[in-house]
């Protein structure tokens, strides 16, 4: 075990050194480049470099986290105006300059935080957050207009006091900022937390049900990116010595999206080169062929969105994959070596029955949508080590019941207590924190993440996630390890989940839910789409979960043979109400249940 | 009405399903389903929930694309056709859930069953014969009808399109016995006019009263099939269908 | 006071007319068409072409609507159809399209400002106040438009099909409705309405390549607040348009420009489905 720790730290250190080396090379290029390029190009490049930093923030927020944002430019503008306003109206000097910088960062962070709190709540539609990010630069620009002489209104402010350093010096400053931010962003997206961002982009709901605080992460990311954008804007203003409302406006915001889309969202390198490339080319062409250039960019943008959603970077990686086979296999081995995960058993937290409370008690649970009552007055309890099946005809309210147990804001009446704790109005991630694990009917996981990544992020609630590092070992509770061995997934930890078979995905999902160490497990039709052998296998797994590990498992199922074989108790629902709660024999022999299920079949024979 | 010679003459398979395999995403719901249905015949597909009955109808209608196998309607291959194209080939489908537009009126729901509004006027007689009360509720919003009346509306909409084929998914669910009997009459009348009916049912009694043949679906496969021959068949089937 | 009242009513009418096309598209296709601003501009330039060639100014709107319909059908086929399952990307792609259209306009007409002849000029005496005749006409147009769209939706077979598709596309398809055709026609209609609206507002403001842009975001917000219903849009236009006029008059015109956006953002946070939605 000490070995694995050492190798993990060694791998991280190796990655740091690699990034450091690349960074060093980039920095050296930055230092010497101005002496080889003509003055005009250097000027243009300095501005492009600052804009590339903005592009990085857009890629992090949109490319990686999936939040469509039109308004990163607003933060750029806040930073720029902080520089100009403080210098113009208050004072200039080393302390003032630095102070203005901090003011810009703080103002942007505060704005971003407010926007985040407003728009990233559980259940918010992605469209709404996009709307807010759209409104932000528009409102900001109007505020600038309304500022009259203080803000320079529509003409902006120019010629304010700044450091009139040599162009080479500014180039180095911009370049250093880009390289440093770029390197940190690179480490960030490869780290545990970076993988979680991708998971949020692909399937936000499932993240919430694994106990990951999605809203908090999004808000934190947005705030950090706001500050970084402001820093870039500050530098831009300090160099160009001009600020105008366009720097914080809607058009720059959409342009930044265009850079990222064309360069390749979610790749970091793509947006950096996209921003620099497009901005530099614009500078050269805007004099001669202004509308033709914009036209070309517009057409490329539309083509990329429609046909090549992953931008031109995907063409590059695609070509690399095709035409560099030899090199690829060698790299692949290294890659796998550096990415492979080690599994080890987690120290078991005996939550189960430790305080004598029942794992789950439901009293008077009701759920209505307007005048339609889907569930009415349900009461039952689950005991540790018990497998409880919930059955009933279609529309009986079974899935609604699962939703009401796992999400505090769904039910309209009654209480749900998990190990004695009422779930009240808690959002799913907090209910998971109380000890509830839920699996879903569909098997949508996180397509582009590997099995190992999925398992690691399932441990977020208990083991957290590193900001810049990637942990190479994942501690899993025994039941989860058991499932991985049974399905053979423990040999395929580096396989992307999109390539798994249906049965394997089910197994992985179950392992992920178990990784959150629940005391109550809610399974929604776990056998749907499985073959007979797979059904038997999963039946064995569920039995071991209750018999050997003492979990309380609650299952919705249609396969009544399956239910009969493995359940300790069965609850029958019909039209939202409980018809019967009893042992397998009681339910099977009940005439009432028969009539509920087969209409009038009881009258035959 | 139906004798041996007629049956031979109408031996054309209206629905012909061969080795059908389909499902959502990775798993398979239907595995290797094959059956035929002729004009003027009612085939009851029985089985417990989750065994693939609804998926079978959805696959035939083109909502779920089959992974392998073929579907032919009146000899025409419709395996990969679009639902709206299939729906226009004189086939009426009554889904189990979300089957009517609750926000639209009874009349508007019925209109959607026929190609043009004038046709509805001509065929109002069909509706009146089937369920006279429906004609009194034409301007009522469908969502305000009782559960049983909504099912009746569903069946009326299917009837009014005068189809050659009907795919019926658990239409008797939650209905009073008198209404179920009425529906059985309507379907028998349709059969006598030569309509081929594929009936999904959990209510064995209802299926027994009108179907000619049956097939039992279990975990996506047909485990037993044959003709309904009196109460013996019923006893045999009970063991497949009990909880 | 009368002037304020008339300002509110006419501004609401104009907002309604401009946003109607966007709303139909969102309602039937569940898509945001960010090329809406560009369509408005196309409408404006269509009006300019008509009057520049010496035709009657009353022909500007029908011509613009026709151009819009054709453009809409083409755009739906090429850009929008592949993106049915990716609504956020559809926003971006239509925005890109808007840029392309704008650049084509700049190429064809130059960056300068143009003017189109107005079908009606001068003022009308109403409630003892002289008020722009064209603005008052637009109120009538808005009412007719609302009535016409409602009639289309509730009295025609096309409208019935469209409503069916809005409520439950799969069920509609299962009944033989070709939902793709419905979508194409809807997009064409929405584009025609947008271009027509562009032609209708040219007498009030000048024509330039970016004239549609300020209307885009406001229309977008209004449509979301409306809950995608015609009465909802009328109400949203009145409420938010009225707010804009009041703020512009009594506080500052600059803040008036963002009133709709800010109020809409707040309203949507409270009632995410809009005033009439859900």
Q: DSSP labels for C114-173?
A: B----SS-SEEEETTEEEEHHHHHHHHHHHHHHHHHHHHHHHSHHHHHHHHHHH-HHHHH
- Residues of chain C found within 8 Å of residue A118, distances taken between Cβ atoms: 265, 269
CA distances from A254 to B216, C78, C84, C216, C218 (A): 58, 22, 21, 14, 17
Question: Is C88's Cβ below 8 Å from some Cβ in A?
Answer: yes
Mean pLDDT of A140-151: 88
Of A393, A560, A601, the CB nearest to B204: A601
Which tokens hold the place of A168? 């080479």
Phi, psi of A604 (to 5 degrees): -80, 145
- Residue A243: what pLDDT? 93
* A596 to chain B, closest Cα gap in Å: 9
Task: Indicate the pLDDT class of residue A348, thresholds 50, 70 and 90.
Answer: low
- Residues of chain A found within 8 Å of residue B51, distances taken between Cβ atoms: 558
Could you report the per-residue pLDDT of C226-255, keeping only the tens digit for each? 988 899 999 999 999 999 999 999 988 888
Q: Among the listed ranges A4-8, C110-114, C244-248, which one has the minimum average pLDDT value?
A: A4-8
Decide which of B210 and A336 is more confident: B210
Mean pLDDT of B6-25: 73
How many Å apart are CA A40 and CA A291, to the nearest integer? 22
Could you report the per-residue pLDDT of B51-74, keeping only the tens digit for each? 788 889 999 999 999 999 999 998
pLDDT at B85 over 80: yes
Task: Indicate the pLDDT class of residue B230, thresholds 50, 70 and 90.
Answer: low
Q: Which residue has the tokens 């509830």?
A: A436
Tell me, rounded to whole angstroms, the distance of Cα A34 from its chain centroid.
39
* B205 to chain A, closest Cα gap in Å: 6
SS3 state of residue B79: coil
Yes or no, beta carbons of C99 and A126 under 8 Å apart? no
- Residues of chain B found within 8 Å of residue C276, distances taken between Cβ atoms: none
Could you report the per-residue pLDDT of A68-106, keeping only the tens digit for each? 999 899 999 999 999 999 999 888 888 889 999 999 999
Yes or no, beta carbons of B115 and C176 under 8 Å apart? yes
Question: Is C112's Cβ below 8 Å from some Cβ in A?
Answer: no
- Residue B2: what pLDDT? 43
Yes or no, beta carbons of C157 and B61 under 8 Å apart? no
Strand partners, B215: B45, B225
Strand partners, B17: B35, B71
Yes or no, beta carbons of C171 and B87 under 8 Å apart? no
- Residue B9: what pLDDT? 42
Mean pLDDT of A349-359: 62
What would you report as the CA-atom Rg of chain B, rounded to the nearest whole angstrom? Answer: 18
SS3 state of residue A52: helix
- Residues of chain A found within 8 Å of residue B50, distances taken between Cβ atoms: 525, 528, 557-559
Find the chain B residues whose C-beta atoms sit closer than 8 A to any C-beta of A. Answer: 23-29, 48-51, 96-97, 172-173, 177, 202-206, 208, 219, 231, 234-235, 238, 241-243
* B25 to chain A, closest Cα gap in Å: 8
Task: Indicate the pLDDT class of residue C273, thresholds 50, 70 and 90.
Answer: confident
CATH code given to domain B4-90+163-241: 3.40.50.300
CA distances from A539 to A547, A562, B134 (A): 12, 8, 49
Interface test with C, best of B112, B116, B141 (most C CBs within 10 A): B112
- Residues of chain B found within 8 Å of residue C157, distances taken between Cβ atoms: 111, 116-117
Could you report the per-residue pLDDT of A146-198, keeping only the tens digit for each? 888 888 888 889 888 888 888 888 999 999 999 999 999 999 998 999 999 99
- Residues of chain A found within 8 Å of residue C93, distances taken between Cβ atoms: 301-302, 305-306
- Residue B223: what pLDDT? 84
Nearest residue in chain B measured CA to CA from C161: B112
Could you report the per-residue pLDDT of C126-177, keeping only the tens digit for each? 777 788 888 889 999 999 999 999 999 999 999 999 999 989 999 999 999 9
Could you report the per-residue pLDDT of A524-563, keeping only the tens digit for each? 888 877 778 888 888 988 998 888 888 899 999 877 888 8
Yes or no, beta carbons of B204 and A593 under 8 Å apart? no
Residue C101 · residue C42 · CB < 8 Å: yes
Nearest residue in chain A measured CA to CA from B206: A600
**Helices in chain C by DSSP H: which ranges?**
2-29, 36-52, 60-75, 87-109, 133-155, 157-167, 169-174, 179-201, 213-226, 230-250, 253-270
Task: Indicate the pLDDT class of residue A355, thresholds 50, 70 and 90.
Answer: low
How many Å apart are CA A544 and CA B196, to the nearest integer? 49
CATH code given to domain A360-603: 3.40.50.300
In degrees, rounded to 5, the angle at the alpha carbon of residue A535 between the alpha carbons of residues A531 and A541 is: 145
Question: Is A125's Cβ below 8 Å from some Cβ in C?
Answer: yes
Q: Domains in chain C and their CATH numbers?
A: 2-270 (1.10.3470)
How many Å apart are CA A88 and CA A95, to the nearest integer? 15
pLDDT at A416 over 50: yes
- Residue A113: what pLDDT? 95
How many Å apart are CA A523 and CA A493, to the nearest integer? 24
Question: Is A548's Cβ below 8 Å from some Cβ in B?
Answer: no
DSSP A352-390: TTTTS--SEEEEEEEEEETTEEEEEEEEEEE-TT-EEEE
Yes or no, beta carbons of A599 and B203 under 8 Å apart? yes
Which tokens hold the place of A25? 């090379």
Yes or no, beta carbons of C168 and B95 under 8 Å apart? no
Nearest residue in chain B measured CA to CA from A372: B143
Mean pLDDT of A192-206: 92
Q: Write out residues 66-85 of B within 8 Å (CB-CB) of C.
A: 82-84
Q: Write out residues 56-95 of A within 8 Å (CB-CB) of C.
A: 68
Is residue A48 within a helix (H) or strand (E), and if so which, with residue range?
helix A39-58
Task: Indicate the pLDDT class of residue B48, thresholds 50, 70 and 90.
Answer: confident
DSSP B142-206: GGGS-HHHHHHHHHHHHHHT--SEEEEESTTTT--HHHHHHHHHHHHHHHHTT-EEEEEES-HHH
B170 in the Ramachandran plot: left (φ > 0), alpha (ψ -120 to 50) or beta? left
Q: Is A282 exposed, middle or buried (0-12, 13-18, 19+ CB in 10 A)?
A: middle
Task: Indicate the pLDDT class of residue A329, thresholds 50, 70 and 90.
Answer: very low
Longest dimension (CA), chain C: 58
pLDDT at B132 over 50: yes
In degrees, rounded to 5, the angle at the alpha carbon of residue B217 between the alpha carbons of residues B213 and B221 is: 115
Residue B23 · residue B67 · CB < 8 Å: yes
Neighbours of A209 (CB within 10 A): 24
Yes or no, beta carbons of A68 and C32 under 8 Å apart? no
CA distances from B225 to A97, A189, B35, C12 (A): 86, 57, 10, 66
Of A131, A250, A305, the CB nearest to C268: A131
How many Å apart are CA A481 and CA B88, to the nearest integer? 53
Yes or no, beta carbons of C79 and A302 under 8 Å apart? yes
CA distances from A22 to A15, A28, A181, A183, A213 (A): 11, 10, 13, 8, 33
Which tokens hold the place of A71? 């308004």
- Residues of chain C found within 8 Å of residue B99, distances taken between Cβ atoms: 171
pLDDT at C24 over 80: yes
Yes or no, beta carbons of A528 and B26 under 8 Å apart? no
How many Å apart are CA A236 and CA A226, to the nearest integer? 15
- Those chains having 3 or more beta-carbon pairs within 8 angstroms of chain A are B, C
- Residue B232: what pLDDT? 66
pLDDT at C109 over 60: yes
Could you report the per-residue pLDDT of C195-211, keeping only the tens digit for each? 999 999 998 888 888 88
Compute the count of residue pairs across chains A and C with CB atoms less than 8 Å apart: 94
- Residue C87: what pLDDT? 84
Task: Indicate the pLDDT class of residue A352, thresholds 50, 70 and 90.
Answer: very low
Q: Which residue has the tokens 């009348």?
A: B189
For chain B, give every domain's residue range: 4-90+163-241, 97-157
How many Å apart are CA B161 and CA C55, to the nearest integer? 50
Which tokens hold the place of A393? 């005809």
How many Å apart are CA A64 and CA A268, to the nearest integer? 9
Residue A475 · residue A463 · CB < 8 Å: yes
Could you report the per-residue pLDDT of A8-21, keeping only the tens digit for each? 778 888 888 888 88
Question: Is A528's Cβ below 8 Å from some Cβ in B?
Answer: yes
- Residues of chain A found within 8 Å of residue C92, distances taken between Cβ atoms: 68, 257, 261, 301, 305
Question: Is A605's Cβ below 8 Å from some Cβ in B?
Answer: yes
Q: Residues 6 or more apart from A6 whose CB is under 8 A from it? A: none
Of C87, C93, C254, the CB nearest to A145: C254
How many Å apart are CA C226 and CA C230, to the nearest integer? 8
Task: Indicate the pLDDT class of residue B231, thresholds 50, 70 and 90.
Answer: low
- Residue A229: what pLDDT? 97
* A66 to chain C, closest Cα gap in Å: 10
- Residues of chain B found within 8 Å of residue C161, distances taken between Cβ atoms: 112
Q: Which residue has the tokens 């810009």?
A: A104
């Amino acid at each position: 075990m000490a070995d694995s720790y050492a190798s993990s730290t060694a791998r991280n250190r190796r990655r740091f050194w690699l990034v450091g080396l690349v960074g060093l090379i980039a920095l050296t290029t930055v230092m010497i480049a101005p002496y080889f390029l003509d003055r005009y190009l250097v000027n243009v490049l300095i501005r492009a470099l600052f804009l590339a930093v903005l592009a990085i923030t857009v890629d992090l927020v949109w490319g990686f986290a999936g939040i469509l944002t039109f308004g990163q430019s607003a933060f750029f503008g806040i930073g720029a105006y902080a520089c100009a306003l403080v210098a113009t109206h208050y004072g200039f000097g080393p302390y003032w300059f630095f102070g203005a910088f901090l003011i810009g960062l703080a103002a942007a962070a505060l704005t971003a935080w407010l926007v985040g709190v407003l728009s990233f709540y559980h259940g918010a539609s992605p469209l709404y957050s996009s709307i807010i990010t759209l409104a932000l630069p528009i409102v900001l620009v109007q505020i600038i207009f309304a500022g009259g002489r203080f803000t320079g209104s529509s003409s902006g402010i120019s010629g304010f006091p700044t450091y009139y350093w040599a162009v080479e010096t500014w180039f180095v400053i911009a370049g250093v900022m880009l390289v440093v931010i770029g390197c940190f962003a690179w480490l960030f997206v490869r780290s545990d937390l970076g993988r979680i961002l991708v998971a949020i982009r692909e399937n936000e709901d499932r993240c919430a049900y694994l106990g990951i605080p999605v809203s908090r992460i999004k808000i934190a990311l947005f705030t950090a990116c706001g500050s970084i954008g402001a820093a870039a804007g500050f530098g831009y203003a300090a160099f160009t010595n001009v600020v105008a409302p366009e720097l914080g406006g809607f058009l720059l915001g959409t342009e930044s999206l265009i850079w990222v889309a064309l360069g390749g969202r979610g790749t970091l390198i793509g947006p950096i080169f996209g921003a620099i490339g497009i901005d530099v080319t614009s500078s050269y062409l805007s004099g001669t062929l202004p509308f033709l250039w914009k036209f070309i960019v517009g057409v490329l943008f539309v083509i990329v969105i429609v046909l090549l959603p992953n931008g031109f970077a995907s063409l590059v990686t695609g070509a690399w994959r095709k035409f560099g086979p030899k090199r690829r296999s060698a790299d692949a081995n290294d890659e796998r070596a550096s990415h492979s995960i080690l599994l080890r058993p987690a120290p078991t937290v005996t939550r189960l029955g430790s305080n004598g409370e029942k794992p789950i008690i439901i009293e008077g649970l009701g759920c209505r949508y307007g005048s339609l009552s889907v569930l009415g007055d349900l009461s039952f309890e689950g005991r540790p080590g018990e497998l409880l099946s919930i059955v009933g005809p279609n529309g009986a309210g079974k899935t609604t019941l699962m939703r009401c147990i796992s999400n505090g804001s769904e039910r309209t009446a009654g209480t749900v207590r998990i190990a004695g704790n009422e779930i009240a109005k808690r959002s799913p991630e907090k209910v998971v924190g109380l000890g509830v694990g839920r699996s879903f009917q569909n098997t949508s996981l996180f397509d582009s993440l590997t099995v190992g990544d999925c398992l690691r992020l399932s441990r977020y609630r208990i083991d957290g996630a590193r900001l810049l590092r990637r942990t190479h070992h994942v501690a899993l509770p025994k039941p989860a390890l058991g499932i991985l061995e049974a399905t053979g997934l423990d040999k395929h930890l580096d396989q992307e989940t999109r390539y798994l078979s249906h049965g394997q995905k089910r197994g992985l999902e179950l392992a992920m839910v178990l990784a959150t160490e629940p005391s109550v497990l809610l399974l929604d039709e776990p056998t749907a789409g499985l073959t007979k052998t797979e059904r038997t296998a999963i039946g064995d797994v569920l039995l071991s979960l209750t018999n050997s590990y003492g979990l309380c498992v609650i299952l919705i199922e249609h396969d009544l043979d399956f239910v009969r074989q493995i359940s300790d108790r069965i609850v029958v629902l019909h039209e939202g109400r409980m018809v019967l709660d009893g042992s397998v024999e009681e339910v099977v022999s009940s005439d009432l249940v028969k009539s509920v299920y087969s209409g009038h079949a009881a009258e035959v024979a | 009405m139906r004798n041996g010679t007629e049956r031979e003459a109408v031996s054309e398979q209206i629905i012909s399903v061969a080795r059908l395999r389909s499902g959502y995403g990775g798993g398979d719901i239907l595995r290797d389903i094959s059956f035929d249905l002729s004009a003027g015949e009612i085939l009851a597909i029985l089985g417990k929930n989750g065994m693939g009955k609804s998926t079978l109808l959805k696959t035939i209608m083109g909502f779920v694309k089959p992974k392998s196998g073929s579907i032919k309607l009146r000899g025409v291959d419709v395996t990969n056709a679009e639902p709206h194209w299939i729906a226009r080939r004189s086939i009426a489908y009554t889904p189990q859930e979300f089957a009517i537009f609750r926000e639209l009126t009874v009349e508007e729901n019925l209109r959607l069953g026929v190609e043009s509004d004038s046709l509805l006027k001509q065929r109002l007689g069909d509706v009146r014969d089937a369920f006279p009360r429906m004609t009194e509720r034409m301007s009522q919003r469908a969502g305000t009808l009782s559960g049983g009346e909504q099912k009746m509306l569903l069946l009326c909409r299917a009837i009014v399109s005068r189809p050659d084929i009907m795919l019926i998914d658990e239409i008797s669910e939650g209905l009073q016995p008198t209404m179920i009997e009425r529906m059985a009459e309507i379907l028998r009348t349709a059969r006598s006019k030569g309509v081929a009916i594929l009936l999904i049912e959990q209510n064995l009694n209802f299926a027994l009263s009108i179907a000619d043949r049956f097939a039992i679906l279990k975990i996506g496969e047909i485990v037993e099939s044959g003709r309904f021959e009196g109460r013996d068949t019923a006893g045999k089937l009970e063991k497949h269908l009990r909880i | 006071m009368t002037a304020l009242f008339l300002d509110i009513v006419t501004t609401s009418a104009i907002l309604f007319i401009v946003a109607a096309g966007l709303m139909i598209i969102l309602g039937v296709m569940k898509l945001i068409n960010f090329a809406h601003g560009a369509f408005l501009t196309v409408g404006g330039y269509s009006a300019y072409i008509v009057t520049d060639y010496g035709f009657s100014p009353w022909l500007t709107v029908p011509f613009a609507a026709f151009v819009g319909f054709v453009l809409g059908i083409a755009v739906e086929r090429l850009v929008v159809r592949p993106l049915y399952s990716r609504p956020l990307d559809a926003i971006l792609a239509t925005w890109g399209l808007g840029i392309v259209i704008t650049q084509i306009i700049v190429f064809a007409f130059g960056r300068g400002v143009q003017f189109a002849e107005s079908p009606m000029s001068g003022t009308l005496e109403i409630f003892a106040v002289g008020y722009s005749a064209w603005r008052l006409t637009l109120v009538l147009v808005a009412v007719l438009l609302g009535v016409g769209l409602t009639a289309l939706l509730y009295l025609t077979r096309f409208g019935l099909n469209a409503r069916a598709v809005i409520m439950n596309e799969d069920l509609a398809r299962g009944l033989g409705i070709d939902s793709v055709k419905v979508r194409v026609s809807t997009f064409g209609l929405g584009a025609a309405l947008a271009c027509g609206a562009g032609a209708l507002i040219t007498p009030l403001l000048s024509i330039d390549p970016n004239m549609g842009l300020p209307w885009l975001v406001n229309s977008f917000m209004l449509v979301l607040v409306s809950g995608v219903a015609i009465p909802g849009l009328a109400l949203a236009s009145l409420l938010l348009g009225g707010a804009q006029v009041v703020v512009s008059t009594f506080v500052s015109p600059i803040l008036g420009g963002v009133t709709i956006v800010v109020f809409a953002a707040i309203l949507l946070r409270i009632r995410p489905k809009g005033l009439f939605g859900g």
